[in-house]
Amino acid sequence: MKSSIGVIGLGIMGSAISANLVRAGFDVHGHDIVAARRRTLAAAGGHPQRSASEVATRCGIVVTSLPSAAALQEVVQAIAARQPRGRIVVETSTLSLDDKQAARKRLAAAGVVMLDAPLSGTGAQARTRDLVVYASGARRAYQRCAPVFDGFARAHHHLGAFGNGTRMKLVANLLVAIHNVAAAEAFTFARKAGLDPALVYKVIGDGAGSSRMFQVRGPMMVAEEYSDATMKVEVWQKDMHVIGDFAARLGCPTPLFAASGPLYAAAMACGRGREDTAAVCAVLGAMAGITPRARRRGRR
């Protein structure tokens, strides 16, 4: 058995990370405010704990995967209250630089080192250990965490000073936002042209027009089924705001990213907030006058 590793936040990403760490031989202790997620951890072979502070007490390295800045602040306060000196917190959430810096300072005062280490990949990719870690912060802490990263990710990179991980993640997510909408637009275009979406996925995926988002979210767009979310639209909206705010602070034009925003907002307005972000394909389909698959079946 390898060392004890903590995971706080057992949602789509955190549950996949914890399950992969268990399979890699780590003794995994986890916490989530949702009881069902703690039970899922137990079923995977991990050890659910009643609080974030209990996880930090038991584990020298703690991975956090959280939905909001408020959740991070609450977890950081709980960890710091135990004064767990010498611990490392690997913060993988997509949040603003200001929120990450505030958390780092609070933990440093308690003798805890924090790495800013967002992840590149969807929930589906997380389940198959197809993630990339954008780690930043103290190199010695990064080196200590490398075996843990190997347990749940395909690759990991040290990007230098704390905060560079988030900067890289925002660049990556800008591309994801654009490529996801581009894939949805392509499938809508293909349907209007009378092409079989499954054939489009096979042929385009084999050529220069493909992208990772086309490959990962294309099957959902072909099936017109978005309920098994690897990234929920309502969560993605938070990421979009973080990117937009950071770009505005930099004075950087992002015309393609800006053009994608209304489609995600429309998906929310259509009641698709809990669906996968691939649901922008349904929004574009409605705009194009394409009858949804479920209604087409009903006519038969």
Kindly write down the DSSP assignment for every residue of 243-280, as one continuous string: HHHHHHHHT---HHHHHHHHHHHHHHHTT-TTSBGGGH
Residue stretches of the chain with pLDDT short of 70: 1, 294-300
Hey, which CATH number is domain 4-160, 3.10.20.600, 3.30.460.80, 3.40.1160.10, 3.40.50.720?
3.40.50.720
What is the distance of C-alpha 112 from the center of its chain?
Answer: 24
Answer yes or no: are the C-beta atoms of 93 and 66 closer than 8 Å.
yes
| Catalytic member of 2, 169, 192, 232 | 169
How many DSSP H helices and E strands does the chain contain? Answer: 14, 9
For the chain, give every domain's residue range.
4-160, 166-298
Answer yes or no: are the C-beta atoms of 12 and 123 closer than 8 Å.
yes
* DSSP-derived 3-state class of residue 113: strand
Residue 155, class by beta-carbon neighbours within 10 Å (0-12 exposed, 13-18 middle, 19+ buried)?
A: exposed
Residue 11: predicted pLDDT: 96
7 closest CA partner among 24, 27, 35: 27
Residue 64, class by beta-carbon neighbours within 10 Å (0-12 exposed, 13-18 middle, 19+ buried)?
A: buried
Give the whole-angstrom CA distance, residue 20 versus residue 129.
7
Per-residue DSSP letter, 9: -
Give the whole-angstrom CA distance, residue 11 versus residue 148.
19
**Is 169 in the active site?**
yes
Residue 2: predicted pLDDT: 76
Residue 105: predicted pLDDT: 98
Residue 109, class by beta-carbon neighbours within 10 Å (0-12 exposed, 13-18 middle, 19+ buried)?
A: exposed
Per the structure block, which two tokens stand in for 66? 């959280």
Paired strand residues for 276: 232
Paired strand residues for 114: 89
Per-residue DSSP letter, 59: -
* DSSP-derived 3-state class of residue 290: coil
Residue 298: predicted pLDDT: 56
Answer yes or no: are the C-beta atoms of 29 and 9 closer than 8 Å.
no
Give the whole-angstrom CA distance, residue 223 versus residue 176.
20
Residue 95: predicted pLDDT: 96
Per the structure block, which two tokens stand in for 20? 């992969």
Beta strands at 155-158 and 88-91: parallel, antiparallel or unpaired: unpaired
Question: Apex CA 176: angle with CA 175 and CA 178, to 5°?
Answer: 65
Instruction: Return the CATH number of the domain spanning residue range 166-298.
Output: 1.10.1040.10
Give me the torsion for CA of 67, 68, 69, 74, rounded to 10°.
-70
Residue type for position 132: V
- Tell me: the pLDDT tens digits for 118-139? 999 999 999 999 999 999 999 9
Residue 296: predicted pLDDT: 59
